[in-house]
Structure 1
Amino acid sequence: MWAWRPCSVRAGLRGFAETYTIQQARYPAGEPEWQPVHTVYVPADRFTAGTVSAWGDQASSLVKAHLAGPGELAEVFGVPGGLAPAVHERVVRKLASEPVEDLRVDFEDGYGVRPGPVEDGHVEQAAEAVAALHAAGALPRRWGLRVKSFADGDPERSVRTLDGFVTGVVSRAGELPGGFVVTFPKVLMEAYLGQFAEVLARLESGLGTRLRFEMQVEAPQTLHFLRGDLPESLDGRLAAAHFGVFDYTAAIGLPPHEQRLDHPACDHARHVMQTAFAGTGVELSDGSLAASPACGRKGDVHTLWRRHAELVRHSLRHGYYQGWDMHPSHLVSRFAAVYAFHLARYDSYRERVSAWEEQREAGGGVMDEPATIRTLAAALRRADAALQ
């Protein structure tokens, strides 16, 4: 007769408690929190307190001129007729109430290299604009800046801009408003991440708030050091990883006409990012479309919207729920594609979750697994956040 040998067998479990504690800390796998559907990048020299409202006004004007009603929306974006009225109404309302969910004042590629005093001046102007937006209650829920890369060989410039911006906002607003994040680009060496995290730790000492950052994945070299324990090694300061399509595709030698988000090489890079950070709580974001309408004619605007919406849908299908928007016209196609994506399956997802909870058949021959139910529930929470 078999007899349980607890002492001898249990000896093989030495260290389990420590390992399990590490697992829980490294892979919290919690419910998805609110995540912006986009990040809007504005060059620092063009950023003012009126930028957010101006983007919303320009996007709304494009809708009024070139997307008059649900029927036209259905034709341009390929939205089923039954969904078109709800999508159109949400797009119009969103552009009027919250056109920008996440804002970055860009001191890197979109800004370029300027003499030191010139950049210092734009830092001050940007801090003043942020404080004015905060005072008016118009600062986006997420906001921050993109500094220059350490890979450019001048980390002092990057840190000076960050320090000046943060202290400038605090001195004017009396605090660092919630939702602040720093974008750290072109991370070619893993050591840069630790160095930047140390900069944030020193900078935050007098602020009374914790500073976090998002890294950009813009080079094939970066993929080699993406892994699940990376956020832990950075004391939890890594908030997100954003894919940079143009630097990445250039770095691997793709011809200019193939530098696009839906290229298979970009799919590979994004899948590596997903694999590395799955379960860690690090958010993922896709990149951008570097194009605007060729002119103001309806045909050109529709062409741009169709292409951008196609890329947004490609990202959504691959599990990337955030991307970059670089022009006011992108707001229209971004929100239209996102709303249509979530609304198209919302009711069926909810029915399957309800059937599981009530221990009844979902219908249609569907046999859901627990992992699928968790995914469906997460998708509903994500949709609720995006559709609010």
Structure 2
Amino acid sequence: MPRTSLDPAAVAALTARLPAVDLRSPSGRQPVHTCYVPADKVTDSTVADWGAQALAALGSRSPSAFAALLGVPEDLHERVRAKLAAEPVEDLRIDFEDGYGTRPTEDDDAERTALLVRRWVAEGRAPTRFGLRMKSFDTKALADRGLRTLDIFLTALGDVPPGFVITFPKVTSVAQVEVFTDVLDLFDHDLRFEIQVETTQSIVDGSGRLAVPQFLSAGRGRVTALHFGTYDYTASCGLGAAHQHLAHGACDFARNVMQVSAAGHGVELSDGSTNILPVDDNVDHGWQTHYSLVRRSLAHGFYQGWDLHPNQLVTRYAAVYAYYRETLAADARRLKAYVDKAGGAVLDEPATAQALSTSFLRALDCGAVTAEELHTLTGLTLPALTALARRATT
């Protein structure tokens, strides 16, 4: 029997002090975007109206012209058209904050829009995810108003349906998250919220510590996502208007902090918006700008972003579909080689197999690929892909 010098009992006593590792990935389907609509503009037909306008914009370009404009395959035109016809909006946020402005009262719109959401859910017309963005806690007056709107909305809504989420904007301190979480405890609902990261204080606090981990801890499991706010954040950094855009290095820094802070917490990430809208004589430029920024976000691991106008749905889906389909065949071969232990020029590890499988499942969720395509290309069933994405087979 081989000799050892370590006392097993002493080793066991030491390893017993190790904490359990609890690394979680976001569960369920993550939408590719969030559409913000001012509360006073939300009607019973808002989702259908956004889809119809986006379809009309796409229809103004032939498949060849659309492909040439964005540098995508011509068949993407039909894929995007089908998506816009079937599910134009994956996530809708009824906005009582910046998009809504300051009004004498929000009460009527809060109750009216909640009743609309209640009808959508009852009739099976609600987006996969939906909710409201309330006022911030910048001042006590704003906090009181935001909480009143939330109370009226939730009272009119009744039972909180699956997919409902609250957006908590302009967070500047962990105390705000603590108070908001305590307020949510007062409601008889299992409420979840997303934090908008749009101030410098939401990246680094006054003592020089990263703020996001503290926010997540203060949320006590209620925080589902971190959403980046392009223009408030760049303004808080002191950037001039000409340099307030998603591709600025200041935004890259903030997003990197969000990524490392959220990793392992089961929290989704969403990028911000662009104010260059594809409207009037600016459609082509607006589409090209939006397309390139969405592709940039995807390359940096942000699979969701804000859309502020129906015409942006066209390039949202064009960018997302192109991103997933461009490497589909090569990624499938790579995953198949890993599963078959076929070897080759690339020696992939379980982490890469996880990333490939997760990407396939994201593509399936948004409609970029079909289950049949994935099975044909990889030879794997959806349960097998899901197991690889969770690293359950290692």
1:165 matched residue in structure 2: 153
Distance 1:189 1:305, change over 3 A: same
Aligned partners of 2:343, 2:214: CA distance in 1, in Å?
Answer: 40
How far residue 233 of structure 1 moved from its aligned partner, in angstroms, is 4.0
Distance 1:136 1:9, change over 3 A: closer
2:69 matched residue in structure 1: 76
1:252-275, CA deviations, whole angstroms, 9 ceiling, x for partnerless residues? 011101110011110110000000
2:373 matched residue in structure 1: none
Q: Does 1:311 find its partner at 2:293?
A: yes
4+ long deviations beyond 6 Å = none
How far residue 232 of structure 1 moved from its aligned partner, in angstroms, is 4.4
Aligned partners of 1:13, 1:198: CA distance in 2, in Å?
Answer: 36
1:136 matched residue in structure 2: 123
1:190-226, CA deviations, whole angstroms, 9 ceiling, x for partnerless residues? 11111111111211x2xxx411000000011111244
How far residue 134 of structure 1 moved from its aligned partner, in angstroms, is 2.4
Aligned runs of 1:33-44 on 2, under 5 Å? 33-44=28-39
Structure 2 counterpart of 1:370, from 337, 343, 350: 350
Distance 1:329 1:9, change over 3 A: same
Aligned partners of 2:347, 2:16: CA distance in 1, in Å?
Answer: 39
How far residue 229 of structure 1 moved from its aligned partner, in angstroms, is 6.6
Structure 2 counterpart of 1:246, from 231, 236, 242: 231
| Amino acid aligned to 2:175 | A
1:350 matched residue in structure 2: 332
Structure 1-normalised TM-score?
0.89
Aligned partners of 1:132, 1:9: CA distance in 2, in Å?
Answer: 61
2:390 matched residue in structure 1: none
Do the aligned partners of 1:286 and 1:323 also contact (CA within 8 Å) in 2? yes
Structure 1 counterpart of 2:139, from 132, 146, 152: 152
2:11 matched residue in structure 1: 9
1:50 matched residue in structure 2: 45
1:63 matched residue in structure 2: 58
How far residue 14 of structure 1 moved from its aligned partner, in angstroms, is 4.1
1:55-110, CA deviations, whole angstroms, 9 ceiling, x for partnerless residues? 11111111111x222x222211111x3xx31x222210111111100000000000
Which one has a larger percent helix, Structure 1 or Structure 2?
A: 1
Do the aligned partners of 2:198 and 2:229 also contact (CA within 8 Å) in 1? yes
Aligned partners of 2:304, 2:87: CA distance in 1, in Å?
Answer: 16
Structure 2-normalised TM-score?
0.87
| Amino acid aligned to 1:177 | P
Bigger mean CA deviation after superposition, 368-377 or 279-288:
368-377
Aligned partners of 1:162, 1:192: CA distance in 2, in Å?
Answer: 16
- 1:55 counterpart SS class: helix
1:339 matched residue in structure 2: 321
- 2:135 counterpart SS class: coil
Do the aligned partners of 2:177 and 2:218 also contact (CA within 8 Å) in 1? no
2:114 matched residue in structure 1: 127
Q: Does 1:92 find its partner at 2:72?
A: no
* Bigger relative CO (Cα 8 Å, ≥ 6 apart): 1
Structure 2 counterpart of 1:222, from 181, 202, 205: 202
Distance 1:221 1:228, change over 3 A: closer
- 1:40 counterpart SS class: strand
Identity of aligned residues (%): 44
How far residue 347 of structure 1 moved from its aligned partner, in angstroms, is 1.6
Q: Does 1:107 find its partner at 2:96?
A: yes
| Amino acid aligned to 2:116 | A
How far residue 368 of structure 1 moved from its aligned partner, in angstroms, is 1.6
Q: Does 1:359 find its partner at 2:328?
A: no
The root-mean-square deviation of aligned C-alpha atoms, in Å, is 1.7
How far residue 152 of structure 1 moved from its aligned partner, in angstroms, is 3.2
Distance 1:282 1:226, change over 3 A: farther
Task: List gaps (5 residues or longer) in structure 2.
Answer: 205-209, 371-394
How far residue 350 of structure 1 moved from its aligned partner, in angstroms, is 1.4
Aligned partners of 1:136, 1:332: CA distance in 2, in Å?
Answer: 26
How far residue 230 of structure 1 moved from its aligned partner, in angstroms, is 4.6
Distance 1:29 1:35, change over 3 A: closer
Report how many aligned residue pairs link the two structures.
Answer: 360
